[in-house]
Amino acid sequence: MSNICDLNRRYYELIELLKKDIPQVVIRALKEDLGGQIDVSNDITSNLLPTNIKAFARIITREVGIFCGKRWVKEIFNQLNQNITIIWHVTDGQKITPGQLLFEIEGSARILLTAERTVLNFIQTLSGISTKVSYYASLLKNSSTKLLDTRKTLPGLRTALKYAVICGGGINHRIGLSDAFLIKENHIIAIGSIKKAIKKAISIFPDNLIEIEVESIDELIQAINAGAHIVMLDNFGLEEIHQAVKFNKGRVILEVSGNINDFFIKNIAKSGVDYVSVGDLTKNICSIDMSMRIKIK
C-alpha cells in the first residue's frame, strides 16, 4: 500500500469534511454568543447603535505567525448577513508580522460588532496552531522526517484544527477512528498479542493501512514479521530509535511519538525515521494576538 496515496486521500477527505463542518461549527459558535439563536438583536450592547449605521473595520495581527481561518470568517458573515464586504490581504498559510493588515470588513456596524469576538476566536486559535506547526516543521527542514499531528484536538473542532496543521506545513495523521488502524497497547492487551491483532486487522479490512504502537525493539520485530505497514515507536529514547532504524532497513514506515519537544525533535530527525507525531500541536494551543479596529462611516 502506498503511504503517499493514503496521505493524499486523507487530505481530500478533510477538505470535503470541512464543507459540512465549517457551517455547523460556526452556527454553534454564533448561537453560543447570541442566546441560542442567530439573531443580531440578541446582542443587547450592539442594540445601542441605530440599525442604519455603516462601519468599516480593519483586522490586524500583533504577533508574528502563520495565518489560518479565511473559510470560517466568510461563513460567520454568511450566517449573520450576506451584505458584508470582506477585502482580504492574506491567505491561509501565509506568514504574518506585527501590525500587518489581514483583512478589511465593510457593512452594518451592528453586524461587525456582533461578529467581532467569534471572528477573532477562530482566526486567533487556528493561526496559533499553524504557527506552532510551522515552528516544529522548521526543525525538520533539512531532514527526510515529516511532521504529523494526532487526534488530541478540542472536541468539535477536529477538522478545523487539522486544517490549521496543513496550513502550518504539517501532515494529518488519522482524521478519526474510521480511516485507518492504529493498534495501541490496550488493544494488544485486549486481543492477546501483536501478531493476533495485526492478523485480525488484515482479515477484517485487508486494504486498510495498519499501524501499530510498540514499546521495545522486540515488539518492533514482532510487528514487522506480522505485516504492519507503519510502526509507531512510543516513548523510545534516541539510542533505541537509532537501533530501530538500523534493524528496520526500510521494511516498514517508522513513526516516533511521545514527549516530543523542540530539542528532541531535532535529534529524532537525524535518526532517519519517516515521521514524528506531536500531540502538542493541537493540544496545547497558544492563540495569536489579533484585534479589530472599527470606524463609523
Task: Considering only residues 153 and 3, tell me which one the structure prediction assigns the higher pLDDT.
Answer: 153
Across 160-168, average pLDDT? 98
Cell of 50: 441605530
Residue 147 CB-half CA count within 13 A: 29
Same domain, 264 and 161: yes
**pLDDT given for residue 5 in this prediction:** 56
Same domain, 61 and 103: yes
**pLDDT given for residue 1 in this prediction:** 43
Answer yes or no: 234 catalytic.
yes
- Mean residue pLDDT of the chain comes to 94
Answer yes or no: 239 catalytic.
no
What CATH number is given to the structural domain containing 47?
3.90.1170.20
Q: Is the pLDDT of residue 141 over 60?
A: yes
The domain total for the chain is: 2
Whole-number percent of the chain with pLDDT over 90: 87
* Residue 6 domain-assigned (yes or no): no
By residue range, what is the domain housing residue 105? 16-131+285-296
**Catalytic one of 75, 92, 149, 213:** 213
**Catalytic one of 116, 234, 255, 274:** 234
Could you identify the residue written with the cell 510551522?
Answer: 134
Same domain, 47 and 126: yes
pLDDT digits (tens, 9 = 90+) for 14-46: 999 999 999 999 999 999 999 999 999 999 999
pLDDT digits (tens, 9 = 90+) for 69-94: 999 999 999 999 879 999 999 999 99
**Catalytic one of 20, 28, 54, 117:** 117
Supply the DSSP symbol for 155: T
**pLDDT given for residue 89 in this prediction:** 98
Answer yes or no: 117 catalytic.
yes
Across 151-177, average pLDDT? 95
**pLDDT given for residue 3 in this prediction:** 59
Q: Tell me how far apart the alpha carbons of residues 140 and 270 are, in angstroms, rounded to a whole number.
A: 9
**DSSP SS3 for 56:** strand
pLDDT digits (tens, 9 = 90+) for 200-235: 999 999 988 899 999 999 999 999 999 999 999 999
Q: Where are the beta strands (DSSP E) in the chain?
A: 54-61, 65-66, 85-88, 95-96, 101-108, 146-148, 181-183, 210-214, 230-234, 253-257, 275-277, 290-296
Answer yes or no: 219 catalytic.
no
Q: Tell me how far apart the alpha carbons of residues 243 and 265 are, in angstroms, rounded to a whole number.
A: 17
pLDDT digits (tens, 9 = 90+) for 104-121: 999 999 999 999 999 999
